[in-house]
């Protein structure tokens, strides 16, 4: 949430700051701003809305600074408007911030008593004034340390100071921050994605670190003020370009990329000649794991729910799932033989990262399942299994969900085999079936034309339900989440068998209901639940898989059939029409599909 960029160079930085901000918009997009420093003057430009608006405003001005900071905001304190947009500048100091300062009200009172006047409703502005105050009587590093010591909460900061016209200061606690190294210029960024277009050489700040970035030198200090050296890491794909190609939105592109991304991931983990799984060098023995706790948020949490089913079916291990924001504050019984798995596309989700840090503090075994391999969760986990699906730009997670499920399914097969609960023949035949998955996903894409027509009813409804049993229940939850997120209509995901315990009362004439009834062991039961909602007037969209027997039912509104495959793999296929349903419903409404309202791609505040 919120994106930060800083550039110090020997040439004007405005163009590169604007293009980096465009890349960072996936982190927040309600307002944007920049500050540059030139001729002993901090020049600040801010606006409500998107970076293109900021760009237009900047193009009418002459902005010469060769050092500057920029920000895209996802509002926490104060409505999204020009005044609350970052940077927050005084005459001497300009600050961009990602995170939340929890004691800002107290600090504001203290500063107001000392004569500081606040312009915005944000928590960030206290940092500007605190630093100005400490700079009066302290040298630079000491003033920064004193400022940071006063702050409770989380932050990644980029700071310009008028009297130090050749440096950008960065500081991190709880929110990610990276430094990039260029030729005659250096960078500060809230993640490496924004820096990739300019450099593939980066260092990451750890909690408590401060950095002082000059165009030809970067100094790092730890929380004790001791100068430290940082490893420079090489990012893999400097020139990777994220284009929509022939698609109108990233989300649509990402849905249709899934045959390739799933294939790429299978190729990473499966020896396709020997039909074996290549997961080596884990720092612990998987044979000894007695219980597993899977932790994530949102869509990643739904992938955890799927994994619980698979691991329980393929092993005797006790498995629980935890929503990260709950786990981090509850009492947990940490046990030595427990394995903690953290699932996150971005690898930066604040709650998931905090849950990981808590497990590390308690010396637990930690495994990260992430997409962004340079992320905080990836760097902090004992071991990482990347999902290899490439950058996901659409705020609504699609290909990363399939990637997370895939890696967790592969992991479930491996642990089942190592713990001797899955016989070698079964293990190999499951891998053989898995190898066919990319092709089945590709074929299932043909359902889009039908889904597109059906989507209008969901877009026009005031609410809908998504029902499934067993492996289809987490997918029902995911389908409902996608529709809420993109189409701004209420949608509820529910275990089909729970309907008569309350939610059935919601069903009324014409209400669209999705029934996920693949031909697995729950098929008959789910069809009975379908009859119950049809009897109460629901317009049912049945999603199942192709099979010998024709599915016919009186009063069934619509039917979508995905390809046929093993029961364990059906969740991958029935997810596809649900992704398309949310996409097309949002299209009908004319909503911004890649940047739904109020949301951000990377949730780095709790
Ligand atoms: O980056 P993460 O996977 O940790 O993100 C977790 C959730 O914020 C994310 O899955 C969110 O629910 C998606 N926008 C859903 O499409």
**How far is C-alpha 144 from the chain's CA centre?**
30
Q: What angle do CA 344, 350, 351 make, to 5 degrees?
A: 80
Strand order in the sheet with 227-228: 88-89, 93-101, 153-161, 164-173, 210-213, 218-221, 227-228
d(CA 408, CA 490): 29
List pLDDT tens digits, range 256-271. 999 999 999 999 999 9
Ligand 1, from 191, 254, 298: best to mutate by most atoms within 8 Å of Cβ?
Answer: 298
pLDDT at 193 over 80: no
CA dist 577 and 472 (Å) reads 13
H-helix segments, 362-398: 376-380
Residues 497-521 pLDDT 10s = 999 899 999 999 999 999 999 999 9
| pLDDT per position as a tens digit, 437-452 | 999 999 999 999 999 9
Contact criterion met (CB below 8 Å) for 316 and 421: yes
Rg of the Cα atoms in the chain: 26
User: Crossing angle for the helix pair 570-589 and 448-460, nearest 10 degrees?
Assistant: 50
Residue 127 CA, ligand 1 centroid: distance in Å: 29
Alpha carbon 595 to its chain's center: 13
pLDDT band at 175 (very low <50, low <70, confident <90, very high): confident
| Pocket residues: Cβ below 6 A from ligand 1 | 297-300, 344-346, 349, 352, 395-397, 481, 485, 602-603
Per-residue confidence (pLDDT) for residue 242, from 0 to 100: 66
Q: How far is the CA of 345 from the centre of ligand 1 (A)?
A: 7
Q: 446-471 burial, b for 16+ CB within 10 Å, e for fewer? A: ebbebbbebbebbbebeebbbbbbbb
pLDDT tens string 517-557: 999 999 999 999 999 999 999 999 999 999 888 887 778 99
Q: How many whole angstroms separate alpha carbon 157 and alpha carbon 170?
A: 5
Catalytic residue, from 2, 293, 297, 389: name it: 2
pLDDT (tens digit, 9 = 90+) per residue, 293-342?
999 999 999 999 999 999 999 999 999 999 999 999 999 999 888 999 99
Which residues 6+ apart lie within 8 Å of 502 measured at CB? none
Range in 169-178, 209-218, 487-496, 572-581 with the lowest mean pLDDT:
169-178
The alpha-helical segments, DSSP class H, found in 101-153 are 104-113, 125-137, 140-150
Q: Does the pLDDT value for residue 240 go beyond 70?
A: no
At a CB cut-off of 8 Å and minimum separation 6, what does 231 contact? 203
Question: pLDDT > 90: what percent of the chain?
Answer: 85
- Using CA positions, which residue lies closest to atom 12 of ligand 1? 298
In order of start, what are the domains of the chain with their CATH numbers? 3-234 (3.60.20.10), 255-435 (3.40.50.10490), 447-589 (3.40.50.10490)
Q: Give the pLDDT of residue 64.
A: 87
Tell me the average pLDDT across 352-376: 95
**What integer is the mean pLDDT of 489-494?**
96
Q: Each residue of 79-120: pLDDT tens digit? A: 989 999 999 999 899 999 999 999 999 999 999 999 999 999
> Which pTM does this prediction carry?
0.83
Q: How many CB atoms sit inside 10 A of residue 566's CB?
A: 14
């Amino acid at each position: 949430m919120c994106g930060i960029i800083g550039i110090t160079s020997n040439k004007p930085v405005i163009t590169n700051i604007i293009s980096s901000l465009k890349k960072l918009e996936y982190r927040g997009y309600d307002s944007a701003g920049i500050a540059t420093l030139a001729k002993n003057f901090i020049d600040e430009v801010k606006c409500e809305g998107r970076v293109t608006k900021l760009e237009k405003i900047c193009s009418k001005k002459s902005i010469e600074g060769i050092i500057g900071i920029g920000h895209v905001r996802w509002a926490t304190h104060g409505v999204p408007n020009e005044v609350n947009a970052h940077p927050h500048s005084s005459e001497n100091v300009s600050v961009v911030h990602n995170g939340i300062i929890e004691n800002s009200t107290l600090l504001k009172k203290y500063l107001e008593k000392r004569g500081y006047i606040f312009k915005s409703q944000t928590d960030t502005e206290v940092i500007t004034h605190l630093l100005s105050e400490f700079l009066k009587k302290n040298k630079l590093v000491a003033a920064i340390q004193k400022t940071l010591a006063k702050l409770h909460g989380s932050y990644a900061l980029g700071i310009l100071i008028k009297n130090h016209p050749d440096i950008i200061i960065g500081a991190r606690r709880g929110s990610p921050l990276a430094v990039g190294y260029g030729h005659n210029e250096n960078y500060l960024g809230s993640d490496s994605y924004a820096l990739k277009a300019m450099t593939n050489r980066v260092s990451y700040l750890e909690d408590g670190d401060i950095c002082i970035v000059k165009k030809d030198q970067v100094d790092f200090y730890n929380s004790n003020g001791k100068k430290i050296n940082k490893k420079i890491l090489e990012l893999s794909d400097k020139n990777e370009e994220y284009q929509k190609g022939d698609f109108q939105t990233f989300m649509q592109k990402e849905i249709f990329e899934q045959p390739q991304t799933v294939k790429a991931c299978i190729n990473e983990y499966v020896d396709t000649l020997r039909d074996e799984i290549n997961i080596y060098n884990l720092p612990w023995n998987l044979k000894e794991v007695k219980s597993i706790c899977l932790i994530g948020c949102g869509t990643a949490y739904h992938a955890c729910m799927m994994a619980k089913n698979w691991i329980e079916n393929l092993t005797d291990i006790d498995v629980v799932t935890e929503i990260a924001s709950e786990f981090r504050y509850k009492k947990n019984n940490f046990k030595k033989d427990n394995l903690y798995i953290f699932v996150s596309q971005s690898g930066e989700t604040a709650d998931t990262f905090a849950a990981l840090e808590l497990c590390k503090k308690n010396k637990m075994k930690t495994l990260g399942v992430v997409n962004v391999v340079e992320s905080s969760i990836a760097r902090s986990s004992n071991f990482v299994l990347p999902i290899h699906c490439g950058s996901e730009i659409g705020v609504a997670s699609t290909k990363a969900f399939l990637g997370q499920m895939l890696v967790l399914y592969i992991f479930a097969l491996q642990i089942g085999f190592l713990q001797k609960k899955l016989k070698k023949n079964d293990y190999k035949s499951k891998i053989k079936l898995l190898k066919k998955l990319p092709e089945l996903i590709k074929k299932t894409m043909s359902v889009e034309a039908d889904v597109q027509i059906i989507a209008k009813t969901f877009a026009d409804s005031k609410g809908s339900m998504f029902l499934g049993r067993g492996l289809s229940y987490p997918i029902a939850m995911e389908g409902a989440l996608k529709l809420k997120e993109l189409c701004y209509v209420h949608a509820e995901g529910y275990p089909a068998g729970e309907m008569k315990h309350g939610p059935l009362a919601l069903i009324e004439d014409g209400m669209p209901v999705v029934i996920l009834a693949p031909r697995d062991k729950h098929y008959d039961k789910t069809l009975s639940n379908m009859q119950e909602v049809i009897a109460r007037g629901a317009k049912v969209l049945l999603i199942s898989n192709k099979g010998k027997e024709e599915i016919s039912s009186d009063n069934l509104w619509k039917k979508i059939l995905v390809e046929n495959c093993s029961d364990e793999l059906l969740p991958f296929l029935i997810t596809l029409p649900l992704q398309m349903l949310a996409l097309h419903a949002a299209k009908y409404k004319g909503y911004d599909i890649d940047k739904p309202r109020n949301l951000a791609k990377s949730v780095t505040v709790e």
